[in-house]
């Protein structure tokens, strides 16, 4: 078998698929091209988004360190004694800068019961801040640390 025979066989085997491709209307090719372009842009956006280093501020890094730190078991105290625990308030204030919305929302809910100028300032700052993991107009059931902070400020006033 010579090379010419191989070429003829391959040519004969490819005639049917090539005929099917040629029979596709031009409008369909335009649609296929548009879909391929959109898919390429989506892949490029994901690739670029993955290469960007996240901006980590000093306070956010501190909040992660504080949130990951092991916690000691609380000592038993009489219910009548009400003492403001400074480290726990500072820990909650630091948690308002946490990485995830759920952690920030839990910190805001916990700060609602603390009547402290640091707590109020942290809640006001949280109520006015924007985070990447939250949308500008969150839905009813989506996580929103801004909404949790506003609710906590409302509870502090009453």
Evaluate the CA torsion angle 22, 25, 26, 28 in order and state its sign. negative
Whole-model pTM: value is 0.44
Question: Where do the domains of the chain lie?
Answer: 59-68+87-135+142-157
**Highest-pLDDT range among 3-17, 59-73, 137-151:** 3-17
Which residue matches tokens 């809640």? Answer: 123
Which residue matches tokens 């949130």? Answer: 67
**Which residues have CB under 8 Å from 126's CB, separation 6+?**
96, 104, 108, 145, 146, 148, 149
Q: What integer pLDDT is reported at residue 80 of this predicted model?
A: 47
Q: What integer pLDDT is reported at residue 81 of this predicted model?
A: 45
The 10s digit of each residue's pLDDT in 85-127 is 555 888 888 888 888 888 888 888 888 888 888 888 988 988 8
């Amino acid at each position: 078998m010579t090379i010419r025979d191989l070429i003829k066989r391959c040519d004969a085997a490819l005639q049917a698929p090539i005929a099917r491709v040629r029979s596709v209307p031009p409008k369909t090719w335009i649609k296929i091209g548009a879909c391929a372009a959109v898919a390429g842009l989506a892949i490029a956006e994901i690739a670029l988004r993955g290469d960007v280093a996240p901006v980590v501020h000093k306070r956010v890094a501190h909040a992660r360190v504080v949130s990951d730190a092991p916690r000691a078991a609380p000592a038993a105290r009489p219910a009548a004694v009400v003492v403001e625990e400074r480290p726990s308030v500072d820990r909650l204030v630091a948690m308002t800068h946490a990485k995830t919305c759920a952690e920030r929302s839990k910190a805001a809910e916990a700060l609602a019961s603390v009547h402290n100028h640091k707590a109020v300032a942290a809640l006001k700052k949280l109520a006015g801040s924007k985070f990447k993991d939250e949308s500008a107009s969150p839905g009813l059931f989506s996580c929103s640390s801004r909404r949790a902070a506003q609710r906590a400020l409302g509870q502090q006033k009453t």
